[in-house]
């Protein structure tokens, strides 16, 4: 290997290392912000926090499941008083929990029921989701 190639490889390694450090910092910063917001019992902040944990390594999956359960419980608490678009969004989100098995066992019939409720309440993506529910994949990895 020539001296020029060695310098090139060293520069590439440094750049890749720096990119990995920035990615880790960015991920942990996002998680920190979501943790701060989720203190106020915002179910969507807890959902995004759980999604962030689920995309990290295996160590974080237990924390992700905990936040999925908290988010689901908060959504269920808000459901009786929600109206209109807010109600449809909550129903759709609950349906995706059942579809993907996040914080609860996967249950496609329950998912269909919740997503159908969301469609009846005017959620824009629910009709498409119902047509393809068995074919759609969850975007986050399973444990």
> What is the token pair recorded at 127?
């009709």
- Mean pLDDT of all residues in the chain? 77
123 vs 24, residue with greater confidence: 123
Check residue 91 and give its pLDDT. 92
Q: What are phi and psi of 104, to 5 degrees?
A: -145, 160
Q: Is residue 100 scored above 70 in pLDDT?
A: yes
- Per-residue pLDDT of 26-51, as tens digits, reads 666 666 676 666 667 778 777 777 77
Return the number of other C-beta atoms located less than 10 Å from residue 43's C-beta: 21
Q: Given pLDDT bands bounded at 50, 70 and 90, which one contains residue 57? A: low
Residue 93 near residue 47, CB atoms below 8 Å:
yes
Measured CA to CA, the distance from residue 38 to residue 64 in angstroms comes to 13
Q: Is residue 103 scored above 50 in pLDDT?
A: yes
Predicted TM-score of the model (pTM): 0.65
Q: Given pLDDT bands bounded at 50, 70 and 90, which one contains residue 88? A: very high
Buried (b) or exposed (e) across 111-137, using 16+ Cβ within 10 A?
bbebbbbbbebebeebeebeeeeeeee
Check residue 104 and give its pLDDT. 85
């Amino acid at each position: 290997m020539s001296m020029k190639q060695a310098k090139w490889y060293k520069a590439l390694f440094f750049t890749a290392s720096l990119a990995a450090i920035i990615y880790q910092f960015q991920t942990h910063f996002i998680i920190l912000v979501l943790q701060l917001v989720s203190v106020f019992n915002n179910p969507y902040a807890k959902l995004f926090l759980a999604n962030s944990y689920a995309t990290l390594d295996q160590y974080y999956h237990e924390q992700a499941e905990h936040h999925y359960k908290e988010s689901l419980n908060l959504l269920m608490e808000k459901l009786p008083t929600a109206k209109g678009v807010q109600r449809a969004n909550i129903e759709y989100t609950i349906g995706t929990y059942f579809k993907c098995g996040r914080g609860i066992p996967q249950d496609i019939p329950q998912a269909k029921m919740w997503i159908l409720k969301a469609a009846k309440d005017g959620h824009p993506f629910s009709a498409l989701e119902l047509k393809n529910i068995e074919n759609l994949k969850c975007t986050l990895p399973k444990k």
